[in-house]
Structure 1
Amino acid sequence: MESPHGAAVAADGLGLEGPRGWAFRDVTFSADPGSLIAVEGPSGSGRTCLLLALTGRMRPTEGEASTGGLALPRRAAAVRRVAALGPVPGVSELDPAFTVAEHLRERALLQRRYDGSLRALLRPPRDRAAAARARIDAALDAAALDPVTLPKAERTAVRDLERPQALRLSVALALMGRPRLLAVDDTDLKLSDAERAEVWELLRSVAAAGTTVLAVCSEAPGDAVTVRTDTPEETPEPAEPARAGSTATTYEEEPADAFAETGRA
């Protein structure tokens, strides 16, 4: 029986075809709630498209899939409510001009606006501020990001962050929504061996705490549920994940996601 928090993820013969051919095809796997799932393959092999399909952001062309027991693509809107995106280029990127504090405050406001109960919205301002701060601190702790270690603490602009720090900030922002599935693209891109090991340790800790993690990478760790998006015979050309007119259909987001995934992640 599925845990009340982490989301089980499964696919059977899943494929997505775009204007330049198949982004990925014949993807079959299953992973329990709280798993660390690594989508492994070279750049251009459809890894990001698979991540977006499994989080309800792209419509697959063939096969079946489910996330958290919700069938895709039929329940895509419900999947988007339980699956949060970490860094995904072109979809959920940090604003380089924003400071760490500005990103955190903005996300806290979004969570309160779209996820809060009526009772929470009617609480005194001081109590709402304390609750938002507690949520921020919990997310930072889960992402192992201590603002004190940054050049200007929470006033540090995103453009001044090292890539591992920016990745941790993106993870913290995603975790503020307490998702059942966290999806992270380009997990090991431009990281040293030591940095890569630290990032995987972070994602293991998130999964160990109960949140299923779906991470795109070029080389999966040995303890992950590994899903490959290419084949030895042929690496398909990628579909274009978010361009108008593509036959690889993207979904419209709910208001919270639309704001969060257009440069304010």
Structure 2
Amino acid sequence: MDSTPHGAAVTAAGFGVKGPRGWAFRNIDFTAGPGSLIAVQGPSGSGRTGLLLALTGRMKSAAGTAEVGGLPLPKKKAAVRSVTALAHVPGVAELDPALTVGEHLRERALLQGRFGGSLRALLRPRQERRAAARALVDAALSAAGLDLETLPKGIRTSVRDLERLEALRLSVALALIGGPRLLAVDDTDLKLSDDERAAAWRMLHGLAAAGTTVLAVCSEPPEGDADVVLVRTGSQPEPSSPEGAPGTPTATPDAPDATDTADTAAGKGGEAGEAAEGSETAEGGEAGEGSQSGPSGSDGTSSADNTDSTPAGAPATDGHDDEEGAADALAETGRA
């Protein structure tokens, strides 16, 4: 097991996920140290989100090997899920446009306090738990660069009224409340202006510099940035036996953990009353009960080289097959 205090090292060799109609992605090779910023680049349908889900233990791999924080995949998927968090993943970990910023924060803090902390933390006096939750939420907002005072209605602003960059920052802040060693962010630069894209990468660089390993899916990585580990997805050759031959590996996507969709409906049901005791910072209220603070770690540098080679006699494939494989592999996660 990785002894690094916070950020998780990530490695992959010949890593791939396969759906019923083909490969979602394959032949992924890279190495990234703790506290690295990993940019996953590729066109839509090239398996970028599938790679993000597989490296966070939410989807079962079909070929190759990978490790996150010393935990092998897919053997230790549950352990990997416990040290990773998802942000901005449509259909898996996305914001509810009907909720306000404050409701999302209270809900996530409440879930973290109930399921993310130790039993000893749950036995502390309520005021101590609330104070710890407020500190945790404030630290996450600060790390994500989201200033509640600049929002149209402060903490009462609805998600549907947020700008795209503000929504990205909120999603990242919610994920950081759990203190993950690896933060995986999907669609990082989707429909952002040049200035917004630069601001998003500055935020992710800051998180990596603070010790959290960041895995970010993007269309275009920051130019000329030597600190970014670049991983490319796309059409790649068959790594092993021909389609349908004996021994060809297959993979089945895994459903995401309930705790990774903290920005869904937990605060809307029977616990809504208790969640109301959570954070309402703009109105003088308090954050939802929580107990775990995110530790800080050391920076890490790394390099990556995602190369592919064509084995002798391997059949030819095209990008269309890969796109179909990616769509199938994501179907059960709601991303198809």
Q: Does TM-score exceed 0.5, indicating one fold?
A: yes
* 1:51 aligned partner: 52
* 1:100 aligned partner: 101
* 1:166 aligned partner: 167
Gaps of 5+ in 1: 235-246
Question: What is the identity, as a one-letter code, of the residue corresponding to 1:227?
Answer: V
Tell me the secondary structure at the aligned position of residue 14 of structure 1: strand
Question: Residue 129 of structure 1: CA displacement?
Answer: 1.3
Tell me the secondary structure at the aligned position of residue 24 of structure 2: strand
Tell me the secondary structure at the aligned position of residue 44 of structure 1: coil
Question: What is the identity, as a one-letter code, of the residue corresponding to 1:260?
Answer: A
- Cα pair 1:94 1:263 within 8 Å, conserved: no
The percentage of aligned residue pairs carrying the same residue is: 67
Question: Residue 215 of structure 1: CA displacement?
Answer: 0.2
* 2:232 aligned partner: 228
TM score, norm. by length of structure 2: 0.71
Q: Where do 4+ consecutive residues of structure 1 move more than 2 Å?
A: 231-234, 250-257, 259-265
- Cα pair 1:92 1:264 within 8 Å, conserved: no
Q: Where in structure 2 are the equivalents of 1:154-193 lying within 5 Å?
A: 154-193=155-194
- Cα pair 1:39 1:216 within 8 Å, conserved: yes
1:40 aligns with 2:41: yes
Tell me the secondary structure at the aligned position of residue 112 of structure 1: helix
1:62 aligns with 2:63: yes
Tell me the secondary structure at the aligned position of residue 123 of structure 1: coil
CA distance in 2, matches of 1:261, 1:172: 11
- Cα pair 1:92 1:263 within 8 Å, conserved: no
Superposed CA deviations along residues 71-116 of structure 1, whole A, max 9, x for unmatched, are 0000000000001001101110111111100100111111110122
Q: Where in structure 2 are the equivalents of 1:105-144 lying within 5 Å?
A: 105-144=106-145
* 1:90 aligned partner: 91
* 1:214 aligned partner: 215
Query: Which residue, out of 255, 260, 263, partners 2:262?
Result: 260
Superposed CA deviations along residues 7-48 of structure 1, whole A, max 9, x for unmatched, are 000100011111231111100111000000000011110000
Superposed CA deviations along residues 183-236 of structure 1, whole A, max 9, x for unmatched, are 0001010000000000000000000000000000011123310000114889xx
Question: Residue 254 of structure 1: CA displacement?
Answer: 4.7
Quickly say closer, same or farther: Cα 1:190–1:263, change in 2 above 3 A: farther
Aligned length: 252
CA distance in 2, matches of 1:155, 1:15: 43
* 1:251 aligned partner: 254
Q: Who wins on radius of gyration, i.e. which is larger?
A: 2
CA distance in 2, matches of 1:263, 1:39: 30
- Cα pair 2:59 2:255 within 8 Å, conserved: no
TM score, norm. by length of structure 1: 0.90
CA distance in 1, matches of 2:3, 2:13: 19
CA distance in 1, matches of 2:215, 2:265: 21
Superposed CA deviations along residues 128-183 of structure 1, whole A, max 9, x for unmatched, are 11111111101000101010000000000101101100000000000001100000
1:18 aligns with 2:1: no
CA distance in 2, matches of 1:176, 1:252: 22
- Cα pair 1:94 1:264 within 8 Å, conserved: no
* 1:71 aligned partner: 72
- Cα pair 2:26 2:236 within 8 Å, conserved: no
CA distance in 1, matches of 2:3, 2:210: 15
Quickly say closer, same or farther: Cα 1:255–1:123, change in 2 above 3 A: same
CA distance in 1, matches of 2:237, 2:65: 24
